[in-house]
Structure 1
């Protein structure tokens, strides 16, 4: 009995005198600290950078090139004299005298070149649209990750409460069966029952101990899951209420899900980005116009102590005629990829409609199960009381009492599981229609600003600093 009481105390650790934690507080902590969600936000900021990279197609490029070195030139010839007619002859016809000239110089050159794109076949415009649609798609994916993480947090929170309650039921059942075994042994000693009745009570008690041990392990797993998802050890958790979901039928849930679910929104913008990629590939086939301005300076290039400076400006036109056909294949490929993305939109709509309908029916079934199980518990309690009274007068056996107690335990276990399904099912339904976000739940957190980093870098011409603090606020 002392061991059982110690186990009961361990199971009641969640009820220790510490500050209680509500579901809202746990979800707020998850929203601020979950690594999966933080990584998804960083991924969105990385996708945001695609827009300034696309806009760079409008901007000039400036390059400075320079060179410096040393040159040593020597020229050697035989001594000659020139005739009046311009021809030359050796001064000494027998022994010509060589003449060597050495020239040392330090050549240096510097060039600055600026190139301004004027028309790139519409590539810059198409790439900008493509990048902006990719950003919008990634924002929807971030909302999907946020919903997934908050849904996992709900599961972890309810899992701890559910398994703690199941452990409490198993501990209580073990205590009841222990007392039942003591009473059975007393009746056996006075000859009221047989050894078979004692063996049945011992068997049930051993099974209860096994169930209690398994429940302890399951609770520890639930606590570990809670710590992984929410980021802290569970304290005394407050039993939450089901979430009020703003839909009144399965059909309404499907309609809202197909219009509002983040996965559908992400697929729509991904399809738009894929269509923009067709224009990006077509731009390779169109003429390109650019302007180039160049200034240069060359010192000691041909001879010592000389300098050349100058500049030029050109307008460049490139008209592609045939480029081995690969660019035509890229256009065809982009069109098929766009078709694939459009088809995936329909697939996502069907999938979220199925999930919404499934979540609605699961929640409805769980609510009905709660009412049924409560009626079952009331009937099981009455049946157990009657069987115990009948066993005292000898009209019922010990096995009948044990079976009645097991039925009551099973009914109470079913009630715990059904109540857990009602709560988690309400949050799952909210997620299926795109309403399981920090803003929809009204969490007491600083909502992550998806546009702050985008606005900070969109028109930035230079800078390699980290501008993520513009959107990450605590």
Structure 2
């Protein structure tokens, strides 16, 4: 199921950041698509999955025969001195070649256990790749919103600086005609200096946000369109927690890690069980005793090895594997608790951010009315310059709070989607060719030979 952007009734497009961007402006979907295709952290995670895929053919190799060809060549010069000083000399060049084929028949269940373990390791790594994908897309959302948010905060600070500049000019005019005192001028000058400092800081924050965007997405931000929050398919904190426990990739990875750890116990137990194999050998020996001689032959054997006592290290490894499995099972519970807490937190943060938007919008309307009244009263002398400055600052603070709250609503909706395991390229419907986690696995699973790079098989579908 794809996630959808919901109509934002809190006025994001009207209140935030940039004017309506042209058709060529970059959307959040496009930015996330570029991060999905090019982010080096995500590309590295895909390569790591391909490396883990190779555990399966390594385990399956336990079913397959081994073929070894050995050979030797040398020179021998033997001199024998007999009675009467008679010397006999044997000069030969012995050579031999041997071919051996060994076929495992029963390895104590080791091959079966190692194959199950490798399969579970692959599935766990796929879940971790999903977790990395969600993290990169979440970083992309935060970077995208961060640029827009800081651009709007900078605009508010620039506007405030301009307003206070005009306020100082008007205050100086009233001071020259004797309507107010030098104190009023100093208060206006102080507020203007503070506004300049805030504007400088806002400029720095915007540059930091742009640098973060470039790191995550891969290119500097251009004109960005105002995004809408996601419509996450949960209706309560309880629903979010249940979905997180079932779908969060961290939980899925922990479950497969636990299964892999249980398989590791069987792998160690196999070292205590009998081993059966068959061996076939063919050989040829030239000049082994005398020059010009040759021996050829072959043999086939059925081999049985029954370990009785090997020092006790194998027993310790079994006990160790059992405890490691217990650790992995406990980590599943910890992962479930962690994602449930994260889902509940994301739900409450999103709910409170939406409520904050409504409250701050009411605050802004009241602050605008209050500022207009204070300015009118200041003209007739019933309010001081400080009262006007305070009213202007209160309105600025409210508008800043609205920008921050609107940003939190958008990022919070994506954070909630990530907590329930629904912040993937497929869920978001990004305009990309999805990376196929199974293609490289299918290309190498049953491959007997080959040392090439088969990563080209892991094309996007």
What's the TM-score once normalised by structure 2's chain length? 0.95
Deviations 1:424-461 (A, max 9, x none): 00000000000000000000101110100010000000
Residue 71 of structure 1 is matched in structure 2 by 76
Contact 1:14–1:236 (Cα < 8 Å) also in 2: no
Residue 34 of structure 2 is matched in structure 1 by 29
Residue 9 of structure 1 is matched in structure 2 by none
Deviations 1:33-56 (A, max 9, x none): 000100000000000000000000
Deviations 1:153-186 (A, max 9, x none): 0000000000000000000000000010111111
What's the TM-score once normalised by structure 1's chain length? 0.92
Per mean C-alpha deviation after superposition, the further-off stretch among 147-156 and 103-112 is: 103-112
2:348 paired residue among 346, 351, 361 = 361
Equivalent residues in 2 for 1:247-326, closer than 5 Å? 247-326=234-313
In the alignment, the residues of structure 2 paired with residue 199 and residue 442 of structure 1 have an alpha-carbon distance, to the nearest angstrom, of 56
Structure 1 position 70, deviation (Å): 1.2
Residue 6 of structure 1 is matched in structure 2 by none
2:231 is paired with a residue of what secondary structure? coil
In the alignment, the residues of structure 1 paired with residue 399 and residue 129 of structure 2 have an alpha-carbon distance, to the nearest angstrom, of 40
2:82 is paired with a residue of what secondary structure? strand
In the alignment, the residues of structure 1 paired with residue 239 and residue 279 of structure 2 have an alpha-carbon distance, to the nearest angstrom, of 60
In the alignment, the residues of structure 1 paired with residue 288 and residue 371 of structure 2 have an alpha-carbon distance, to the nearest angstrom, of 110
Contact 2:18–2:151 (Cα < 8 Å) also in 1: no
Task: Show structure 1 runs of 4+ deviating over 4 A.
Answer: 12-18
Per mean C-alpha deviation after superposition, the further-off stretch among 67-76 and 274-283 is: 67-76
Matched, 1:467 2:454: yes
Higher relative contact order (CA 8 A, sep 6+): 2
Matched, 1:38 2:25: no
In the alignment, the residues of structure 1 paired with residue 23 and residue 436 of structure 2 have an alpha-carbon distance, to the nearest angstrom, of 34
Structure 1 position 15, deviation (Å): 8.5
Matched, 1:457 2:444: yes
Gapped runs of 5+ residues in structure 1?
1-11, 80-97
1:445 is paired with a residue of what secondary structure? coil
Matched, 1:191 2:178: yes
Equivalent residues in 2 for 1:17-416, closer than 5 Å? 19-79=24-84, 98-416=85-403
Contact 1:126–1:277 (Cα < 8 Å) also in 2: yes
In the alignment, the residues of structure 2 paired with residue 220 and residue 17 of structure 1 have an alpha-carbon distance, to the nearest angstrom, of 22
Contact 1:14–1:234 (Cα < 8 Å) also in 2: no
Contact 1:19–1:235 (Cα < 8 Å) also in 2: no
Deviations 1:182-216 (A, max 9, x none): 11111111111111110000000000000000000
For the pair shown, the structure with the greater C-alpha radius of gyration is 1
Gapped runs of 5+ residues in structure 2?
1-16
Contact 1:14–1:237 (Cα < 8 Å) also in 2: no
Aligned length: 445
In the alignment, the residues of structure 2 paired with residue 319 and residue 187 of structure 1 have an alpha-carbon distance, to the nearest angstrom, of 105
Structure 1 position 13, deviation (Å): 10
> What value does the CA root-mean-square deviation take over the aligned residues?
1.3
Contact 1:297–1:310 (Cα < 8 Å) also in 2: yes
Structure 1 position 472, deviation (Å): 2.8
Contact 2:25–2:224 (Cα < 8 Å) also in 1: yes
Residue 90 of structure 1 is matched in structure 2 by none
In the alignment, the residues of structure 1 paired with residue 31 and residue 357 of structure 2 have an alpha-carbon distance, to the nearest angstrom, of 25
Structure 1 position 473, deviation (Å): 3.2
1:234 is paired with a residue of what secondary structure? coil
In the alignment, the residues of structure 1 paired with residue 381 and residue 342 of structure 2 have an alpha-carbon distance, to the nearest angstrom, of 55
In the alignment, the residues of structure 1 paired with residue 209 and residue 265 of structure 2 have an alpha-carbon distance, to the nearest angstrom, of 49
In the alignment, the residues of structure 1 paired with residue 283 and residue 127 of structure 2 have an alpha-carbon distance, to the nearest angstrom, of 51
Contact 1:278–1:331 (Cα < 8 Å) also in 2: yes
Contact 1:18–1:236 (Cα < 8 Å) also in 2: no
Deviations 1:247-297 (A, max 9, x none): 000001000100110000000010000000111000000000000000011
Contact 2:18–2:226 (Cα < 8 Å) also in 1: no
Structure 1 position 16, deviation (Å): 8.8
Residue 11 of structure 2 is matched in structure 1 by none
Deviations 1:349-387 (A, max 9, x none): 011000000000000000000000000000000000000
